[in-house]
Structure 1
Amino acid sequence: MNIRKKKGVWVWGIKLLPPFYYFFLCCEMSRKMTRDDVEALALGGAILGGGGGGWYEDGKRDGFLALELGDVELLDPNQIDEEFTVITTAALGAPTQKGETKPRHFIRSVELLRGAGFDFDGIIAAENGGHNSFGGWVQGAALGLPIVDAPCDGRAHPTAMMGGMGLHREEGYVSVKAVVAEGIEVIALGTMENTSNIARMVARDVKALVALARDPITVGYALEHGAPGAISKAIDLGKKVLKVRDKDPNDIVKAALDYLGGEIVAKGRVIEKMLEAKGGFDVGVVKIREGTNVYEVSYMNEYMTLERENERIATFPDLVCTFGADGLPLTSASIKEGDKVFLTKTPKELIPIGDGNRYAEIYDPVEKALGKPMVKYLNGFLKG
């Protein structure tokens, strides 16, 4: 399959696409986002973040800002040509080190990538999350680019390699990443791993989330290796939960789990939280007590393992979530000792998962950071 394809011509600084693209963009495959969609996506994305994926409030802020800047069009990937080319945009870094990165930096990252000679027609998000589900919204509204509903992953993940959709296995593929933060702009070309490490190094050194635009691919590749439809799924999930927002917290959590097919593992209190900002990640453990049972949740931005008395209950990309006493999702960055929480899990088979999570080598840095095995619990899920 063609991974990256150039098309269209530039006239007076404006890209002219083949006529059939304009036909597609005027048909029902294009859905204009609304303020109600912003509210729903921020909430649904936060749940699918599984402890990571950014702050719910930041997602709403960027979503509403995008609607002020222009129209945000969400395209159904099954209804557009497979050669339509998209880039991935994201915020990358440790959630507790947000820094001074602003929406203008995210716009600039896309401009930087195009200025380096890379051609693209639209944007996809890297993942679902309270903030990252809105990947590309501000850039798309400001620059006139549509959002394609085929994110790299349907849940949040800690490493850029996990959002790589298996591109690191494509022989000869040259990755490109445009990284922007206050006072720095970087274009990196090379292997997926090396360019990801450079982006993470920038985030670590500036102690901030950085704006990232990367890796032009065709929609056909995203359909096969990404998580098509995952943004719409997050919106639908958020709308289900918002319908019961004014009810008892138990009803709110139940609405989310009924939609996802998950279950409550425990209702308890956070008795311990350990956090270390390490290598551009938030790494640590949360312990939750329910009666005589103590549950240990390790995290590397996202919740990665769930255990009770050393018995493994869930392993990423299973979706482990924490909900607060109000029934709303809590991230690993926001949860704190003393919080009353709902601890839940949803099997990975019930959520859209990108191919970037299906290779054993991707889990090596996670296992090293956490000191916990991952791969041996993923038999039957991983690709060879």
Structure 2
Amino acid sequence: MAKIEIDKKIVEYAVYGGAVLGGGGGGWIEDGLQIGRMAVDIGEPVLYTADEMKDEDLLVTVSLVGAPAAKDKYVKPIHYSRVLDILAQKINKSIQGIITNENGAGTTVNGWFQSAITGIPIVDIPCNGRAHPTGSMGSMNLSELDDYVSHQAAVGGKGTCYTELSVSGSLDKASTLIRKASIEAGGLLAVARNPVTAAYAKVNGAVGAIQQAIEVGEALLNHAGGAAIDAVVQKLSGTVAAEGIVTDFNLETTGGFDVGTVTINDVYEMTFWNEYMTLEKNGQRFGTFPDLIMTLDARTAEPIVSAAIHKGQQITVIVVPKENLLLSSTMRNKKLMKPIEDIIKKPILEFCF
């Protein structure tokens, strides 16, 4: 199928499947449903497969940058469209397709509202098939191109925190400036960034990952409770790695990220940097980013992002090997993975490479 017409059922599948594939990050289910349904209400967003695009077509990434748990975050639908306008004016080129930075409850449907109001199609080549903490991880290895100039636009916040900016420079510098701006805006910004050709995205992006999210969401929502969790695990060829009560939870929002730990039954420990990074029991490692580690309510199968965990919850933790996910070339880049170790204070590289 080369083209997928989007309706509200597809929105639900994409959001819930994206929530699972977010691995603890990627935004909130309520936000994803709101923006996805709004897109269908006001227009006719269309999802194109990669083979619909010519190699020379220009694609732009849309994303949310910041800390999902920030109490003063404020991003509205108008901000999503505004950033696209700012970026198009900046590069003075027409845009043939919109791609999301990652799969997640809020991020799988990034671009659907913009598509509805502009007619520009969404293209099923996310920058990554799972959520990830840093901008560089969502830039399809553009960080490896010495001469690449990153153009980024960002909008968000309200009142005195309202922020609207355009940045051009090296990928790292531009991403750092956007991240800092998200803090000033109250914690979150809508962003459009990094124009690339469809040919480049096909090689470095996660081709077909939105359809994978839709399929996972369909498996989840067409079952209930434990059967829904089993259906998701079967769809992704993963495992149920832990079950029990959250006995401890620590979260700190710092530098525009949510960082912390989750303890289950006093024996399983999970670390997260927006997304879940590790799952261990008595020093034995059961999952390591970019493996998918995800928490779901043990009774309802509702996906639970890391920022929404609290003591006393009864949760199930699933783990899906990275080989079973549709991932970006960045997930094989040791240089981009190394900073995780500095944040969570645990080894990563020896497990994921």
TM-score interval, normalised by the smaller of the two chains: over 0.9
Counterpart check, 1:301 vs 2:274: yes
Which runs of 5 or more structure 1 residues have no equivalent in the other structure? 1-27, 380-384
Question: How many Å separate the matches in 1 of 2:323 and 2:264?
Answer: 25
- Structure 1 residue 229: deviation in Å? 0.4
Counterpart check, 1:259 vs 2:259: no
Question: How many Å separate the matches in 2 of 1:35 and 1:66?
Answer: 9
- Structure 1 residue 357: deviation in Å? 2.0
Q: 2:292 maps to what in 1?
A: 319
Give the aligned residue type for 2:22: G
Q: 1:190 maps to what in 2?
A: 169
Give the aligned residue type for 1:107: S
Question: How many Å separate the matches in 2 of 1:332 and 1:199?
Answer: 23
Question: How many Å separate the matches in 1 of 2:90 and 2:222?
Answer: 46
SS at match of 2:130: coil
Please tell me whether the aligned partners of residues 101 and 208 of structure 1 are also in contact (alpha carbons under 8 angstroms). no
Q: 1:285 maps to what in 2?
A: 261
Q: 1:243 maps to what in 2?
A: 222
Question: How many Å separate the matches in 2 of 1:260 and 1:118?
Answer: 41
Please tell me whether the aligned partners of residues 118 and 216 of structure 1 are also in contact (alpha carbons under 8 angstroms). no
Question: How many Å separate the matches in 2 of 1:118 and 1:355?
Answer: 28
Please tell me whether the aligned partners of residues 48 and 122 of structure 2 are also in contact (alpha carbons under 8 angstroms). yes
Q: 1:373 maps to what in 2?
A: 347
| 1:167 alignment partner, one of 112, 132, 142 | 142
Q: 1:362 maps to what in 2?
A: 336
Please tell me whether the aligned partners of residues 15 and 108 of structure 2 are also in contact (alpha carbons under 8 angstroms). yes
SS at match of 1:134: coil
Instruction: Map Cα deviations across residues 209-248 of structure 1 (whole Å, 9 max, x no partner).
Output: 1010001111111111000100011111111221113xxx
Q: 2:126 maps to what in 1?
A: 151
- Structure 1 residue 30: deviation in Å? 2.3
Q: 1:130 maps to what in 2?
A: 105
Larger Rg: 1
| 2:21 alignment partner, one of 48, 54, 73 | 48
| 1:226 alignment partner, one of 194, 202, 205 | 205
Please tell me whether the aligned partners of residues 259 and 274 of structure 2 are also in contact (alpha carbons under 8 angstroms). yes
- Structure 1 residue 376: deviation in Å? 1.9
- Structure 1 residue 190: deviation in Å? 1.0
| 1:112 alignment partner, one of 86, 101, 119 | 86
Equivalent pairs counted in the alignment come to: 346
Q: 2:152 maps to what in 1?
A: 177
Identity across matched positions, percent:
37
Question: How many Å separate the matches in 2 of 1:196 and 1:305?
Answer: 25
TM-score by length of 1: 0.88
Please tell me whether the aligned partners of residues 288 and 296 of structure 1 are also in contact (alpha carbons under 8 angstroms). yes
Matches within 5 A, 1:20-31: 29-31=2-4
Give the aligned residue type for 2:294: C
- Structure 1 residue 303: deviation in Å? 0.3
Instruction: Map Cα deviations across residues 132-155 of structure 1 (whole Å, 9 max, x no partner).
Output: 000101111112211000000001
